[in-house]
Amino acid sequence: MATTLRMQRHGNAHRPFYHIVAANSRASATKKFLEKVGYYDASTEPSTFVVDEARIRYWYGIGATMSNTLRVLLNKKGIKLERVKTTASSGGSPKKPKAAKAPKAAKAPKAAAKKPAK
């Protein structure tokens, strides 16, 4: 399942606040989500930004993408996220390199003259 970390708008007209959620990237922005990991309220002075950093790291670590706005807010808060580098794409043991094949021997040319039929 393709997962994304994004902001979900709530609140009244001209008074927005946002839930930060982990959601299926194919789902509508206002529909179901997998987990709520924080909230952001820009209307307060200073802005209120509360996140569960451990859960953000968990979702990002298992491959969730992140919206640009959320990435900027996390950078301002000082949360730097990096993906864990793996050697195998399937998560299993690394594949063994294939052995080099020896070049095939050239085939003998066909006889130019065929035997006459008796």
The CATH number of residue 49's host domain is: 3.30.1320.10
In the chain, the DSSP E strands lie at 3-12, 15-24, 35-41, 48-51, 65-66
The pLDDT confidence band at residue 116, using thresholds 50, 70 and 90, is low
Whether residue 105 has pLDDT greater than 90: no
Range of the domain at 64: 3-77
CA nearest to 5, candidates 49, 40, 37? 37
Residue 36 included in any domain: yes
Beta-bridge mates of residue 38? 20, 51
Q: Which two tokens stand for residue 11?
A: 């609140």
How would residue 90 be classed by pLDDT, with cut points 50, 70 and 90?
low
Helix or strand holding residue 10 (H, E): strand 3-12
Q: Please give the model's pTM, rounded to 2 decimal places.
A: 0.64
Q: Is the dihedral of CA 31, 32, 34, 37 positive or negative?
A: positive
Give the number of domains in the chain: 1
**Is 88 inside any structural domain?**
no
Mean pLDDT of 107-116: 63
> Tens digits of per-residue pLDDT, 24-80?
877 776 678 888 999 999 899 998 999 999 999 998 888 889 999 999 999 998 888
- Does residue 109 belong to any structural domain of this protein? no
Q: Is residue 87 part of a domain?
A: no
